[in-house]
């Protein structure tokens, strides 16, 4: 693989632009990627052994590892019992160091999950905090007295169902948990919490970590008066995500995103800026674009990027995609860089959300729109939604129809699975293992995996696709999305067919990628297969 000046982990060749701008980040759910010990659960050493796949077969620029810290696994690692260690089921700190060293040597950066809103109730901080009202760490979590009738301090709800308050009989107060009761919220208004959690960032950066994905980043700071949340506005814009179940009945105005969150992110950024060239991307499910953009910071001094989740559910037709692209570009502060994501460990697999036919065109979209792209393990094989029969996801246990088990099934390496030597994996392997596995798809020149490989290589070698401006082009067909990516020296046109019929588009140039792998030149017209796409250099 040649030297690529635009590569995230490569030399800085982007006219001084930060390297992560052009990168493709590959999300790994450690439990599900590769099991090196044969216990049916993925681990860090398993991930390290797959470096050749990530580096040479795919060619991604960074990996983001979902939590691998010691945890009771009530929420599969998002309930952290020790922020500065590795769960024994995933390996050791030495395994982690080896992984970082090898990935860095291959030019791939390592981003880890940072879960600051809540810890596990098994974290020593919470155990101390709960031990008595006058314990030094009492104020490290959010405790409140009951109302005079003994009920919860306010009407706040847990994302995962039920009230956000848990009664603690031994000390006669409630504690706040935005998620499970086993995930008590840390009190970020306490400077000692902030100092301890900032040290967590330093701990991992000292070990070479290149960046952090910040879990529920907008939840950290709540209303100091802890007022009741108002009812949800039934007339909220239709593009605003509406949570399901009881949680959707309230507007969570006071239980998250208090304005004090911005100074906090400025302080957090100052910590990551103590180290050279680090990157932060925050999970902020905020669908009001203006509010979303505030997380870059007024002077680009907060997180490097808040995740743009709009395409998770709005990539169904050209008009919706155009609206998302335009909205992000409109609110993006000067000097900031856009980003896109189409799958992750909280969302049903692409085929379930958009239909199995959509997989190829979504790959083209994700890897050619202007912005940092985050892809989810297995999407490069078109992995399908797996079974949720085991009902392991706590959210799914509380609310019908939301189980996340189906998008977390083990990575499919071979027709036998290839994930673990154990026949019993923590979640069963997903459907269509025979065709949707790395080995089979590498051998098939027309596979989804080979499409991803081609797209990644083309993106890497194209200045326009890496850093070019993006402009919408009229396609003359409601089913076809067309845009150009341009720099002074290069122009690339992307045409994506959302329809069920093949369609001829007016375009000329060298075909860089076609979802049906036809190469050659487009001379004035190119016929795109149903649900397909073509990328042309003019």
Counting contacts by CB under 6 A, is residue 121 touching ligand NOJ? no
Could you say which residues in the range 296-335 bind ligand NOJ, by CB under 6 A? none
Question: Residue ranges of the alpha helices (H) in 106-223?
Answer: 124-129, 191-206
For ligand NOJ, the closer of residues 62 and 407 by Cβ is: 407
The SS3 of residue 25 is strand
56: burial class by Cβ within 10 Å (0-12, 13-18, 19+)?
Answer: exposed
For ligand NOJ, the closer of residues 375 and 493 by Cβ is: 375
For ligand NOJ, the closer of residues 36 and 183 by Cβ is: 183
* Residue with the shortest CB distance to ligand NOJ: 78
Instruction: Establish whether 274 is a catalytic residue.
Output: yes
Counting contacts by CB under 6 A, is residue 179 touching ligand NOJ? yes
**Phi, psi dihedrals of residue 487, rounded to the nearest 5°:** -125, 180
Q: What is the DSSP string of 331-361?
A: HPPTT---EEE---TTS--HHHHH-GGGHHH
* Rounded least distance, CB 374 to ligand NOJ, Å: 12
Map residues 366-395 to x or -, x wherever contact with ligand NOJ holds by CB under 6 A: ------------------------------
For ligand NOJ, the closer of residues 48 and 345 by Cβ is: 345
For ligand NOJ, the closer of residues 292 and 413 by Cβ is: 292
Which of the residues 136, 274, 288, 510 is marked catalytic? 274
For ligand NOJ, the closer of residues 116 and 371 by Cβ is: 116
Q: How many CA atoms lie within 13 A of 537 on its CB side?
A: 16
Instruction: Establish whether 215 is a catalytic residue.
Output: yes
Counting contacts by CB under 6 A, is residue 427 touching ligand NOJ? no
For ligand NOJ, the closer of residues 21 and 295 by Cβ is: 295
Strand 491-497's sheet: what is its strand order? 469-473, 480-486, 491-497, 533-537, 509-514, 521-522
Counting contacts by CB under 6 A, is residue 490 touching ligand NOJ? no
User: Token digits for 136?
Assistant: 């030094």
* Rounded least distance, CB 405 to ligand NOJ, Å: 12
User: Which value, in Å, is the radius of gyration of the alpha carbons in the chain?
Assistant: 23
User: Token digits for 40?
Assistant: 């049916």
Counting contacts by CB under 6 A, is residue 413 touching ligand NOJ? no
User: Token digits for 77?
Assistant: 């690692």
* Rounded least distance, CB 489 to ligand NOJ, Å: 40
* Rounded least distance, CB 375 to ligand NOJ, Å: 16
* Rounded least distance, CB 51 to ligand NOJ, Å: 25
For ligand NOJ, the closer of residues 45 and 215 by Cβ is: 215
Counting contacts by CB under 6 A, is residue 439 touching ligand NOJ? no
Alpha-carbon span 478 to 498, nearest angstrom: 9
| Residue of 97, 317, 346, 439 interacting with ligand NOJ (CB under 6 A) | 346
Beta strands in 89-169 (DSSP E): 109-114, 143-144, 165-168
**Phi, psi dihedrals of residue 293, rounded to the nearest 5°:** -65, -20
Counting contacts by CB under 6 A, is residue 110 touching ligand NOJ? no
* Rounded least distance, CB 401 to ligand NOJ, Å: 16
Number of residues that bind ligand NOJ (CB under 6 A): 9
* Rounded least distance, CB 179 to ligand NOJ, Å: 5
What angle (nearest 5°) sits at the alpha carbon of residue 344, between those of residues 114 and 53? 90
Give the DSSP H or E segment for 279: strand 279-282
* Rounded least distance, CB 404 to ligand NOJ, Å: 7
Q: Yes or no: say if 465 and 368 are a contact pair by the CB < 8 Å rule.
A: yes
For ligand NOJ, the closer of residues 322 and 352 by Cβ is: 352
* Rounded least distance, CB 346 to ligand NOJ, Å: 5
Map residues 267-296 to x or -, x wherever contact with ligand NOJ holds by CB under 6 A: ----------------x-------------
Handedness of CA 346, 349, 353, 358 (dihedral sign): positive
The one-character DSSP state at 421 is S
User: What is the per-residue burial (b if ≥16 Cβ within 10 Å, else e) of 57-74?
Assistant: bbbbbbbbbbbbbbbebb
**C-alpha dihedral over 128, 132, 135, 141, to 10 degrees?**
60
| Residue of 45, 61, 75, 385 interacting with ligand NOJ (CB under 6 A) | 75
| Residue of 78, 165, 354, 419 interacting with ligand NOJ (CB under 6 A) | 78
Q: What is the DSSP string of 66-103?
A: PP-SS---TTTTSS-S-TTS--TTT--HHHHHHHHHHH
Map residues 207-226 to x or -, x wherever contact with ligand NOJ holds by CB under 6 A: --------xx----------
Which of the residues 121, 210, 215, 380 is marked catalytic? 215
* Residue 515: Cβ within 10 Å count: 25
Beta-carbon contacts of residue 437 (< 8 Å; ≥ 6 apart): 381, 412, 413, 414, 415, 417, 418
Positions touching ligand NOJ (CB under 6 A) are 75, 78, 115, 179, 215-216, 283, 345-346
Residues labelled catalytic: 215, 274
């Amino acid at each position: 693989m040649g030297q690529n000046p635009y590569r995230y982990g490569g030399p800085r060749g982007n006219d001084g632009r930060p390297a992560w701008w052009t990168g493709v980040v590959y999300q790994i759910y450690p439990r599900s990627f590769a099991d090196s010990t044969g216990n049916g659960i993925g681990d860090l050493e398993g991930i390290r052994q797959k470096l050749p796949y990530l580096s040479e077969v795919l060619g991604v620029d960074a990996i983001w590892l979902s939590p691998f810290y010691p945890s009771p696994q009530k929420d599969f690692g998002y309930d952290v019992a020790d922020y500065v260690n590795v769960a024994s089921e995933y390996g050791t700190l030495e395994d982690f160091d080896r992984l970082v060293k090898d990935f860095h040597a291959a030019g791939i950066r390592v981003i880890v999950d940072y879960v600051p809103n809540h810890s596990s109730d098994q974290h020593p901080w919470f155990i101390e905090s709960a031990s008595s009202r006058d314990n030094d760490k009492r104020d490290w979590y959010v405790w409140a007295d009951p109302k005079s009738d003994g009920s919860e301090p306010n009407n706040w709800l847990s994302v995962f169902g039920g009230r956000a308050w848990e009664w603690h009989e031994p000390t006669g107060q409630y504690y706040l948990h935005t998620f499970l009761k086993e995930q008590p919220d840390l009190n970020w208004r306490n400077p000692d919490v902030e100092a301890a959690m900032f040290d967590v960032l330093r701990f991992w950066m000292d070990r070479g970590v290149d960046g952090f994905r910040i879990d529920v980043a907008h939840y950290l700071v709540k209303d100091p008066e802890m007022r009741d949340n108002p009812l949800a506005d039934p007339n909220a814009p239709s593009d605003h995500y509406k949570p399901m179940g009881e949680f959707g009945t309230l507007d969570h105005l006071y239980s998250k995103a208090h304005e004090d969150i911005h100074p906090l992110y400025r302080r957090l950024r100052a910590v990551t800026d103590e180290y050279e060239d680090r990157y932060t991307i925050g999970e902020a499910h905020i669908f009001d674009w203006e509010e979303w953009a505030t997380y870059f910071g007024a002077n680009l001094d907060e997180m490097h990027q808040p995740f743009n989740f709009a395409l998770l559910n709005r990539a169904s037709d050209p008009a919706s995609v155009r609206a998302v692209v335009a909205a992000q570009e409109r609110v993006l502060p000067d000097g900031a860089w856009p980003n896109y994501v189409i799958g992750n460990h909280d969302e049903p697999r692409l085929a379930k959300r958009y239909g199995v036919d959509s997989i190829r065109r979504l790959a083209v979209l994700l890897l050619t729109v202007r912005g940092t792209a985050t892809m989810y393990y297995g999407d490069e094989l078109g992995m399908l939604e797996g079974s949720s029969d085991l009902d392991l996801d706590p959210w799914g246990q509380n609310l019908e129809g939301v189980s996340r088990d189906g998008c977390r099934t083990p990575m499919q390496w071979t027709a036998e699975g290839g994930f673990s030597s154990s026949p019993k994996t923590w979640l069963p392997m997903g459907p269509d293992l025979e065709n949707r596995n790395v080995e089979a798809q590498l051998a098939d020149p027309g596979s989804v995996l080979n499409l991803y490989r081609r797209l990644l290589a083309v993106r890497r070698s194209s200045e326009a696709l890496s850093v070019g401006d993006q402009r919408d082009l009229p396609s003359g067909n409601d089913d076809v999305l067309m845009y150009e990516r341009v720099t002074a020296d290069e122009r690339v046109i992307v045409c994506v067919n959302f329809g069920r019929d093949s369609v001829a588009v007016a375009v000329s140039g060298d075909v860089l990628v076609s979802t049906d792998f036809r190469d050659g030149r487009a001379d004035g017209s190119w016929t795109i297969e149903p649900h397909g796409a073509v990328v042309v250099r003019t």
